[in-house]
Amino acid sequence: MPQPAQRKEHPLSMRLPDTDIAIIDRAARLRGRSRTDFVRDAAVRAAEEVLMETTPIRMTAEGFDAFLAAVSGPAVPVPEMVELFRRVAPWEADRPVTGE
């Protein structure tokens, strides 16, 4: 009979002022999440950002040359992005489109 996967959980305890808890609880309710889920997701997202900012990217000399050529070359419009920026935002639907 297969063994059920064992959950590995590590408790994390914090002392926060009532005002911080109130803000977190309000935001969590707006997202339909529990306080624990909301705080965990926010903390993991912040940690991932820090790691992405500080993680070195390694590549070969040829790969680096190709990267430099790609970012140094002339800009090429992406038709989907051009179309997206020409659309009127839903909250501005009553305003006339300018610049065309």
Q: Are 98 and 85 in contact (CB under 8 A)?
A: no
Q: Where are the beta strands (DSSP E) in 20-77?
A: none
* Mean pLDDT estimate for the chain: 89
Whether residue 99 is predicted with pLDDT greater than 70 in this model: the reply is no
User: C-alpha dihedral over 54, 55, 56, 62, to 10 degrees?
Assistant: -130
Q: Are 31 and 38 in contact (CB under 8 A)?
A: yes
pTM over 0.75: no
Q: Which has the higher per-residue pLDDT, 82 or 93?
A: 82
Q: First CA to last CA across the chain, in angstroms? A: 69
- Percent of all residues in the chain with a pLDDT value above 70, rounded to a whole number: 90
> What integer pLDDT is reported at residue 3 of this predicted model?
72
Q: Are 99 and 86 in contact (CB under 8 A)?
A: no
